Structure 1
Amino acid sequence: MKKNIIILLVAILMITSATSFSAFSITDNGTVLIGTKSFGLAYANDTANIIEITNAIVQGGAIYVKDFSGNWIDNNTGKSVDVSIIPGEDGGQVPTSVVASADAINITKNIGDVYTLPSTVTARLANVTSKQLAVTWDKVADTKSAGEFTFIGTLSIVDGVVNPNNVTIIAKLTVVKSNQELNFKTGTYVGDFVDGKRQGKGKFTWENGDIYDGEWLNDNMSGEGTFSYESKDTYFGNYKDNVKNGQGIYTWNNGEIYNGVWEDDTMNGIGEYDFINGDFYKGEWEDGKMNGEGTYTFLNGDSIVKNWNSK
């Protein structure tokens, strides 16, 4: 019964498997290869030949099916395979590789920078290899004005490579204004702009003396940056939409330091705190307070490990 199931599976795979590789063959389409012996699919599935087919299976070896479109399929996995792994199937010719994808290109330049889109790109093939292919772009890139620009590249095919799905490559060029100065009601910004908004690297100085120097996105402090307060406190870490979010280190002007996770401008998550008196806490925080599992170590070396509840 088990052998009959295997023979039936051969026929099913021949009908249902998807096309991924083309074979330059010396073996006819509609063939099953069992070890080193090949049979027509009709012959292999004819119950009159069950003993011969069963014996071939028992003798061992991989089973591959060549469907009527000329594609080889692994009978065990149901997946298409490269013709190069089929014994005696190369026919002295180069197997065809199918273009599966091409990685997108993302690059940022300043206004006036010299930049040319690449003439060759790396294409990823369906056989899990890659190949350098020439590319023709739909238009020429330039950096005369700020903004985001998208380009579509057509791949040039070489011998042994096919592109039946017409895979293209996308390039996005972001052109920014570098070190432009703009005055706001609350202070002055010097840095990058995209489409009239603060984006990239920039420094904002408030009229009260506070300074932020770091990354911007869509007119907001977003990314990594340093905030120097007029009070002499400092913060270095991550921001999102103008508030502290993620990992960051805050140093107070009295020398106390918090190094840990922030959420919506508040100490929330795992963090360490160095107190001015030499004590040290490492553990969980919530809403700016020690809350949850943590260890408080005193200057003299004594410590308390407990679930803190500061609410």
Structure 2
Amino acid sequence: MPAEKKDAKKKEDAGSTVLTGIYIFPNGDKYEGEYIQNADSLERCGVGIHTSVEGSVYDGMWEGDKMNGKGKLTHPSGASYEGDFVNNQFKGNGKYIFPNGSVYEGQFQENRLEGKGQFTDTQGQIWTGTFRYKAAPGLRFKLNLD
């Protein structure tokens, strides 16, 4: 796992020692947050921020060395997802902002728009309905008469 550790702090959690520190991976990625030291590796757990050398940043909960729980993933393109993660995937409720500024808020399954949601296009028009990955049969335009 990480090649370099700095500023480690300890706290006890359910029989395991949870440490807090900064790690630089061999590829240059950086992790700052909570982890458990295993016999031959480290496991990210609790709250932490992982920054890739490409500029992607995940700030949120970790469990089993994977993004699990609430968090925010931001890409260098300007795209971002904030919501529920399960085993490194968007799953549950969340909000995805596309690089062009359009926004989807709703349900996700395996990194896909899947279920009830609302899409706001670049013109500010809102569309609601059920999304099925790249299809959205029966979307309804939300008319705002304000």
Deviations 1:149-199, CA, capped at 9 Å, x for gaps: xxxxxxxxxxxxxxxxxxxxxxxxxxxxxxxxxxx7x511221468xx973
Q: Which runs of 5+ in 2 are unaligned?
A: 135-146
How many pairs align?
125
CA distance in 2, matches of 1:299, 1:283: 17
CA distance in 2, matches of 1:291, 1:217: 34
* TM superposition score normalised by structure 2: 0.79
**What is the aligned counterpart of 1:242 among 52, 58, 65?**
65
* TM superposition score normalised by structure 1: 0.38
1:211 matched residue in structure 2: 30
The root-mean-square deviation of aligned C-alpha atoms, in Å, is 1.9
Aligned-pair CA distance for 1:204: 1.1
Q: Which runs of 5+ in 1 are unaligned?
A: 1-183
Deviations 1:116-158, CA, capped at 9 Å, x for gaps: xxxxxxxxxxxxxxxxxxxxxxxxxxxxxxxxxxxxxxxxxxx
1:284 matched residue in structure 2: 107
Percentage of matched positions with identical amino acids: 25
1:188 matched residue in structure 2: 4
Aligned-pair CA distance for 1:309: 1.1
2:140 matches 1:298: no
Q: 1:254 is paired with a residue of what secondary structure?
A: coil
State how 1:1-311 maps to structure 2 within 5 Å: 187-190=3-6, 191-192=8-9, 199-218=18-37, 219-310=42-133
Q: Counterpart amino acid of 1:307?
A: T
Higher-Rg member (1/2): 1
CA distance in 1, matches of 2:111, 2:59: 17
Larger relative contact order (Cα-Cα within 8 Å, sequence gap ≥ 6): 2
Where is the strand percentage greater, Structure 1 or Structure 2?
Answer: 2
Q: Answer whether contact 1:201 1:214 (CA < 8 A) is retained.
A: yes
Deviations 1:66-101, CA, capped at 9 Å, x for gaps: xxxxxxxxxxxxxxxxxxxxxxxxxxxxxxxxxxxx
Q: Answer whether contact 1:283 1:295 (CA < 8 A) is retained.
A: yes
Q: Answer whether contact 1:225 1:237 (CA < 8 A) is retained.
A: yes
Q: Answer whether contact 1:198 1:220 (CA < 8 A) is retained.
A: no
2:139 matched residue in structure 1: none
Q: Answer whether contact 1:222 1:242 (CA < 8 A) is retained.
A: yes
